[in-house]
Amino acid sequence: MPGPTPKHASTRARRNRSSTAATLTADPTIVAPDLPDDREWHPQTLAWWVDVWASPMAPEYDASDLHGLLILAVLVDGFWRKPHWTAAAEIRLQRQCFGLTPIDRRRLQWEIERVDEAQDRGRRRRQQAATPAQTGADPRDVLRAV
Instruction: Work out the number of other CB atoms within 10 angstroms of the CB of residue 131.
Output: 8
Asked whether residue 110 carries a pLDDT value surpassing 60, the answer given is: yes
Strand partners, 24: 112
Give domain limits for the chain: 62-116
Q: Is the pTM of this model over 0.75?
A: no
Asked whether residue 121 carries a pLDDT value surpassing 60, the answer given is: yes
Asked whether residue 67 carries a pLDDT value surpassing 80, the answer given is: yes
- What 3-state DSSP class applies to 39? coil
Instruction: Work out the number of other CB atoms within 10 angstroms of the CB of residue 31.
Output: 10
- With cut-offs at 50, 70 and 90, classify the pLDDT of residue 1: low
Rounded Cα gap, residues 102 and 114, in angstroms: 14
pLDDT top residue among 28 and 114:
28
Highest mean pLDDT among 3-12, 71-80, 98-107, 108-117: 71-80
Rounded Cα gap, residues 128 and 89, in angstroms: 46
Average predicted confidence (pLDDT) for the chain: 85
For the segment 84-93, the average pLDDT, to the nearest whole number, is 94
Residue 108 has what pLDDT?
A: 87
- With cut-offs at 50, 70 and 90, classify the pLDDT of residue 113: confident
